[in-house]
Structure 1
Amino acid sequence: MSGLASGGAAFRKIRSLGRFSVTEAAAGYLVVIYLLKGFEEGGRDLSRLQRKWGHVQWLFSGFSSALLRTARRAQARRAWYKAVAFWSWYADFSGDTQKALRNLYFCARQSESSGRKKELAAALLAWRVVSLHEPYDSEARTTSVRLARTLAKQAEQDGNASAAQQWWAQLLEIAPQDREALDRFRSLTVRWQIASSGYLRKTGDLETFLAHVSPDYYSQCAAAAVLLDMHKPVDAEACALRAINQQPTPLALSLLFTSRIVSGQYASAIDALQVLIKASGLPAVQVQALEELLSTPEAEGLDDHSICEIAASRLGEEVAPSLLLHLQSRNLNDALACLSNRISPAIKRRVSADLLLRTGRHLLQVGETASALRIFVLNADLPGVREALSLLLEEQPPNTPRKLLSDLGGPDEIWIGCVALAEYHLSKLNADETLHALCQLSGLPRETFRLMYPTVKGRLADVVRQLCKGGELSPVQMAQLAELLLSWISEPAQENLRSASFRLLCEELSSPGRHSPAAQLRESVLREGYFDHYEERWHGLTFRPWDSPYAWCSCSLEYFKRISQLRVSENVPVSGSLKTRLGFKALFVEHGRQADVLLTYALLKERPEYDLANGFLFSHVVYWFVRHWMPSNNVPSVCLTDEALEYLNATVSNHEDVGVCVTRFFQQEHASRSNEFDSENPIDVLLAAFDFMGSAFVAAPQYRAFIASMFGGRLKHNSLAHRCFEVLFDAEFREICMTALRLQAPKSPAAIASARAVEAGTDILLIGHTEAGTGLGRNFRMLARALEGQDHRLTELGYGANAKEFSEALRQWHEDCRGTPVIVAAVNAHDIPELFIKDRYGVLLDCPVVGFFLWETSMAPQVQRLGISLVDEIWVPTTYVREVYSRFGHVELVGKGLEFAEDEKRQGAPQACTTFLCFFDFHSSIERKNPLAAVLAFQKAFAGITDVELTLKTSEVVPDHPSNSHRHWEKVLEASHDDPRIKIIVERLTDEEMQALLARAHCVLSLHRAEGFSYLLADAVGAGIPVVATRYSGNTDFCTEENSYGVGYDLVPVKAGGGYWETDRSFWAEPHIDSAARQLRCVYEDYAEALRRAQVGRNSIRAKYDMAAFSSRLRERLAAIKMKAKYDYVIN
């Protein structure tokens, strides 16, 4: 591993695996060098990498991102030393010192507040890094000095001379002239040199050792320390005396004191101790030596002044078990009260319950009631102390407990005191005061919760359990208790639970369940049909019952991945048949339990390492599947089998009084946190449940399958858990949230009479293709013009908007609706399901939806059937399209509304050359537009004639387009290659340029196989231009024998080779080339007749497709839809 960490080898190794991004590989490398080399050497390794590769932008960005991400993650986990290291590296590597310094300040202050050695070391490192970047920051310098001194002295107290020497050395780096640091560092250095010299490896070397020790002060002190370590107290005493003769320092005196204690000379030790006290040298005394002295009868020789001095010093707390007895026996009551007030929760563990009781009672006898109360409160968990506290409080005024709380010292004491007083009040059945005592914890810094909660959580749980079980609390008080407990959830989880994104997630997850019955039916249709629709729509796949089950898995995973980009993965539609196929039993695991197809596929694909002989294999495997594999593959929880859900949601322990349960899933989730999480503690379980909601569930909504069971299946009304929901969320959102989490059955919205809606007009949302230059775009603009009106409020929404923008726009429109909402979708029928998929909040489910459809082949393909079933009504522009869809749904022929320029009437025959114009577009299927037939008919009609011209116009050439699978375009090029009369225009023209091109044509030719309507032919007829067109499909509504030249055809099966979804029952026309050639000659030979027909067509089409008449027809349909909505839909 050391080889991996050097020279960037780890980064290259991780990156070479191929599954990781640059940032992920960089993060892995950084963790390796941090673990193997630590802060100093790791920083140097990173600097070498930066110097060599810093000019490579993608590598520089990847490492900067990895440093930032790892620093933030360590900070969130309160791994302060690691966070400081990575923020320091980030500042050096990225140059963004301001961001790094802000976070270093935060880490320094947070880690320092804990008081533990590891966190103090992190704080010192943070302040030193700050000093490097901000050399004039006085806070950083003074705090660094203080922390280094504290750590050095703690190391000496612990007997760790090596660590103490390192801390003193760091202090000298910051403050080179610090006298104490110089003395201690020199002494420890000499001590180390002497101890490592080897003279004392054998007892016989003692004289040689003493002869080699230098007579100076530092050497004698160091020799005394080494001799004490080697249990040579007499010789150590001699060295200490020689050092005292030179410099009577506290260090030398403490060595003399310790050596006399070790040798049993307690009376002489007392003399040394009293000299130390007069010299203010108590901090140098070893705790163990002083404690040994106080436990001997000779300690009676200490005068009262010395005893009081010891009690007043820091050592007093350390030797409290022995010192308390001396203070009581001598009636040094002031010192006793002072010391008892300073006994911290950490020290009290070394003091017996009997001694604490004895001390408290003594203080009561001498009138120190406050000090006695304090001792009893802070030790109420010990046997007998709680009873003494109860008896004492009963004799005090009623406000004594509250006053006592205000007099307690640090947050740790307040924690213990609040719990003790809550227990007391609860024993007196005083719920008000119990809650008041507990609620004092809410104002304490959050850091204290992490430190103190584990020490008192068992007692807290008993209090909370009894409060909830007894039903003593009013709803307001229960809410106060809930608010207190919620403040202990992790900060990231709290932020998530109160965030707008969590609200949107719950709204999305709950939307299907909150709709009207009609909408729920539509949602069911979408769920059952969308997977098959998707596979056929995008992959051309139609599954058969005998297909490989693992092929289903592979396709399903691609489907889940794609659709989870449009909506939350938990709401991806999964049909009953798909769930059944994925849920087939496929692999025996243990004790009659079997893995389904999807779980087996995951195991074969990922091959997680598990002991196959483990008796709990199924438990481990299924937990791995739902906790890791499902979220990473966007698999919704509906794909879990009933057996897996029943197993994971099985209750292990039930805390009914609080309203939470521990399930197998919950137990597995916290298995690695057994030291923090107690499944028998209801507060632990409650906090963990809400923390899970605010963290894991937000990251992977599939976990909602396990949340309801954490609260007992359905949230118990008036339970503490229920009150927590009330505190967290307002009433409106609470219903949404609990529905989303399946904590309650969805409430059906109340039906509202539509009479009010009818009077208020209609809110119309028009969805379609907004881009210009396409027939679909023109449909959209035409409908927008026709739907505008005084009693209609029209809003437009582009089909191409991404899912987030689309769903937000839908929701906003629906919220703003003042009347009956109606949605008109001007898209193809096979695109309708995607609108519903992008609608994350179910607006389309809850509103009448009209589809304005066009289609070309004689039968709507299977891929359109789902879209047809999702709309309430189909509007079509032609009789032909009505016949296509009438067998599948309710169809209304509404026509179109066209606008034509007032062109001058065409006069006479062409002067020089007769121009025929044929339009087509690859994206509208070149096979359907059939330009090859136009070329062949033109050449057959005008063989040997030169004053004719055929212009083929297309916007772009896409040879690999699915509709060109039969090489139609290549055949057109081949047929027209040697004919100079045929011109091909491949260019995208503006609407004005298109109109100009059309105006120059003498005749428009369309030998299409099928048209839903054909704007080209309609524009030509409306402009009075002669038209030769296939006498089939949508154009026959306005192209008749009286106004145009029809071409005969044969109906043939559609074989479009991918351009269209083929079906055995779908047909289109194969126009007759001979018939087309004859009609072209008719136009050429008698252009006056052609113009006459065109004029008839011009007049008829303008009357037939008048915009005002079209708008009137749409209004009639909208009125009918509004009346139907009165009974079928609920207006929310």
Structure 2
Amino acid sequence: MKARPRRRRHFSLLTWLFVFRKSFAFWLFLAFLYVMNSSFSTELLSYSRKGANLEDPLLQNLSVLWLGPFKAGSGYGQESLNLLLSIADKLPLLKAAYFGDKVYSRTLDAFSKRVLDFFESLEPTCEELPSYYCDKSDIIDINCPCNRTAKGKLFDIVVIHSVPEGWVRKMLDVGAYKVGRTVFESDSVPKSWIEPVNKFVDELWVPSQFNVQGFQSSGVKKPVIAIPQCVEFPNWNIASLRRSIKYRYGCHKNDFIFLSVFAWNERKGLKYLLEAYGSEFSSEDDVCLLLLTRSYSGASKLPELNQTVANMLRKYRRLDIPSFQLVSQISDEELPKVYAASNSFVLATRGEGWARPIMEAIFYELPVIATNWSGHTEYFGEDTGFPVRVERLEKYSGKEAEMKPYVGLHLAVPSISDLRLKMRQVMLDTDTVRSRVQKAKRMIMTRYNPETIGDQILSHFIRIKKSLLSGSVQKDH
């Protein structure tokens, strides 16, 4: 009699888990499943300070004066504030004096009490500033009389964080070692910036390798060091935030919303974005372009700006232009809701220093479409977003007042056809979108958090202090 074949047993996943529940491999397997299936919105991200020896007595005795526009709402202001917050708790002798444009009360009102108390805690005492600072009250915001007899190097290091054209050499003389911090959005920099960098500071800090190459190729002889921007994001569950959104900022409920956040100037490439959007979509498509813009004329100009956008879209579709909404003057509290209400972020930029809105969009788990050129490529590429091919670089020759520093310098021209392709792709290719969004968020949360960037700054401060103590600092200014 022919032997009956043995029946193959099929075990369910639960059966296997029960059988091997006491083995080490079992728990390792469970941990793997948990990590792979956890939402990025609920990840517990812990950071350790590994870059600098935080017990180093050099940090405890290091005196630093940071001059920057940290009370302003500008890009420089946000960057300056975030960098200060990343190092303040490790530098007991850190002082900061506001340096820059006039501070408006509405800007200060937007800060939390925690931040305002932080500003106050860093203010130099009257004995710590020489008389020259009192004589420059138009650009330095101080609340006490200066020391008319103070002379010499009052601080180990002075950091000046602003556009080099505005640096004042005499203000830097309070530091034994001088560091400049700035940023630019082209692959070279204005000629008027080169002399202050070469003559006033010992080294220059910029946010990206793109800027390192740009400043060096333009004639900067001092060391140029890349220290990225950092952003302190709230510990939010993005999926829950998105589910709570009811208002769509004028877009329809079923619309796929492309969000663009930008200042109203030629560098942001609005005309290229509108050409791609108007050519690719029509009023028959369930799409909406949500334009969040900061114009210097304020909300009173919104009707005029709306008409400008509509007219630009009609160049590509006379009648059935796709839906768009223009929003301005959004508060800091409202901004997360704008990101959460959107489905993708798009910026047809012609050049960026760092592009904070791109990093914000990544945090809020939006697929990002942006021109593949300039400072944001430090963290943005094929594996973390949807980069748009550059058609060509061209020297800017426009007459817009705000764009004067860029005259004669390169700005990118993004490919309209590739921009159209990427906008369609993020709507349809959900698997690729999910993969790149997750990878991008993991990357910015681990590389550009305050602890990681703060460690980089502290490491450079220790290096500088050791050079000062050894007498190895070479001065040629």
- Shorter chain as normaliser: what TM range? 0.5 to 0.7
Could you tell me how far 1:1109 is from its partner in structure 2?
A: 1.4
SS in 2 for 1:1061: helix
Q: Is the 8 A contact 2:207 2:227 kept in 1?
A: yes
Partner residue, 1:1115 = 458
Q: Paired residue for 1:1061, among 385, 405, 429?
A: 405
Distance 1:1011 1:1087 in 2: 28
Could you tell me how far 1:1022 is from its partner in structure 2?
A: 2.0
SS in 2 for 1:765: strand
* Amino acid paired to 2:335: M
Distance 1:974 1:1084 in 2: 26
Structure 1, unpaired ranges of 5+: 1-756, 960-966
Q: Which has the higher contact order (CA 8 A, sep 6+)?
A: 2
Q: Paired residue for 1:1038, among 379, 384, 387?
A: 379
SS in 2 for 1:886: helix
SS in 1 for 2:405: coil
Instruction: Output the TM-score relative to the length of structure 2.
Output: 0.67
Distance 1:935 1:1112 in 2: 41
Alpha carbons of structure 1 residues 969 and 858: separation in structure 2 relative to 1, 3 Å: farther
Alpha carbons of structure 1 residues 1077 and 812: separation in structure 2 relative to 1, 3 Å: farther
Alpha carbons of structure 1 residues 969 and 871: separation in structure 2 relative to 1, 3 Å: farther
Is 1:767 the equivalent of 2:67? yes
Alpha carbons of structure 1 residues 1052 and 1063: separation in structure 2 relative to 1, 3 Å: same
Partner residue, 2:34 = none
Alpha carbons of structure 1 residues 904 and 790: separation in structure 2 relative to 1, 3 Å: closer
Q: Is the 8 A contact 2:66 2:159 kept in 1?
A: yes
SS in 1 for 2:288: strand
Distance 2:397 2:369 in 1: 25
Partner residue, 1:568 = none
Partner residue, 1:858 = 187
Deviations 1:460-485 (A, max 9, x none): xxxxxxxxxxxxxxxxxxxxxxxxxx
Q: Paired residue for 1:876, among 178, 202, 206?
A: 206
Is 1:787 the equivalent of 2:87? yes
Is 1:1076 the equivalent of 2:419? yes
* Amino acid paired to 2:191: Q
Partner residue, 2:119 = none
Q: Is the 8 A contact 1:857 1:1067 kept in 2?
A: yes
Could you tell me how far 1:810 is from its partner in structure 2?
A: 10
Structure 2, unpaired ranges of 5+: 1-56, 103-133, 244-251, 299-303
Q: How does 1:681-1080 map to 2 (within 5 A)?
A: 761-800=61-100, 803-805=135-137, 806=140, 812=147, 820-832=155-167, 835-836=168-169, 839=171, 844=173, 846-869=175-198, 870-887=200-217, 888=220, 889-904=222-237, 906=239, 912-922=254-264, 926-958=265-297, 972-976=309-313, 979=321, 981-985=323-327, 987-1049=328-390, 1050-1057=392-399, 1058=401, 1059-1062=403-406, 1064=408, 1066-1080=409-423
Q: Is the 8 A contact 2:60 2:90 kept in 1?
A: no
RMSD of aligned residue pairs (Cα, Å): 3.4
Deviations 1:798-829 (A, max 9, x none): 11378443397796599599985211122122
Alpha carbons of structure 1 residues 1072 and 862: separation in structure 2 relative to 1, 3 Å: same
Distance 2:175 2:239 in 1: 52
Q: Is the 8 A contact 2:282 2:322 kept in 1?
A: no
Distance 1:821 1:1026 in 2: 44
Deviations 1:847-890 (A, max 9, x none): 32211111001111111112212111111111111111134131
Q: How does 1:151-190 map to 2 (within 5 A)?
A: none
Instruction: Output the TM-score relative to the length of structure 1.
Output: 0.29
SS in 1 for 2:254: coil
Distance 1:1072 1:821 in 2: 49
Distance 1:935 1:973 in 2: 9
Alpha carbons of structure 1 residues 1115 and 917: separation in structure 2 relative to 1, 3 Å: same
Q: Is the 8 A contact 2:227 2:453 kept in 1?
A: yes
Distance 1:976 1:936 in 2: 7
Could you tell me how far 1:903 is from its partner in structure 2?
A: 3.5
Higher helix share goes to which structure?
1
Alpha carbons of structure 1 residues 822 and 1079: separation in structure 2 relative to 1, 3 Å: same
Could you tell me how far 1:1054 is from its partner in structure 2?
A: 2.2
* Amino acid paired to 1:937: A
Is 1:1103 the equivalent of 2:446? yes
Could you tell me how far 1:911 is from its partner in structure 2?
A: 6.9
SS in 2 for 1:943: coil
Alpha carbons of structure 1 residues 821 and 935: separation in structure 2 relative to 1, 3 Å: same
Deviations 1:18-72 (A, max 9, x none): xxxxxxxxxxxxxxxxxxxxxxxxxxxxxxxxxxxxxxxxxxxxxxxxxxxxxxx
Q: How does 1:666-685 map to 2 (within 5 A)?
A: none
Q: Is the 8 A contact 2:269 2:348 kept in 1?
A: yes
Q: Is the 8 A contact 2:154 2:174 kept in 1?
A: no
Q: Is the 8 A contact 2:208 2:226 kept in 1?
A: yes
Distance 2:454 2:406 in 1: 35
Deviations 1:1056-1104 (A, max 9, x none): 424133565x312100111101000001122443233111111111111
SS in 2 for 1:1089: helix
Could you tell me how far 1:976 is from its partner in structure 2?
A: 3.8
Aligned-residue identity in percent: 19
Alpha carbons of structure 1 residues 760 and 905: separation in structure 2 relative to 1, 3 Å: closer
Alpha carbons of structure 1 residues 771 and 760: separation in structure 2 relative to 1, 3 Å: closer
Distance 1:993 1:814 in 2: 48
Q: Is the 8 A contact 1:953 1:984 kept in 2?
A: yes
* Amino acid paired to 2:88: E
Could you tell me how far 1:1043 is from its partner in structure 2?
A: 1.5
Distance 2:176 2:323 in 1: 55
Distance 2:155 2:70 in 1: 24
Could you tell me how far 1:932 is from its partner in structure 2?
A: 1.6
Deviations 1:749-779 (A, max 9, x none): xxxxxxxx95872111111113343211111
Q: How does 1:437-586 map to 2 (within 5 A)?
A: none
Partner residue, 2:112 = none
* Amino acid paired to 1:1035: H
Distance 2:307 2:193 in 1: 31
SS in 2 for 1:1117: helix
Alpha carbons of structure 1 residues 1105 and 789: separation in structure 2 relative to 1, 3 Å: same
Paired residue total: 356
Q: Is the 8 A contact 2:153 2:173 kept in 1?
A: no
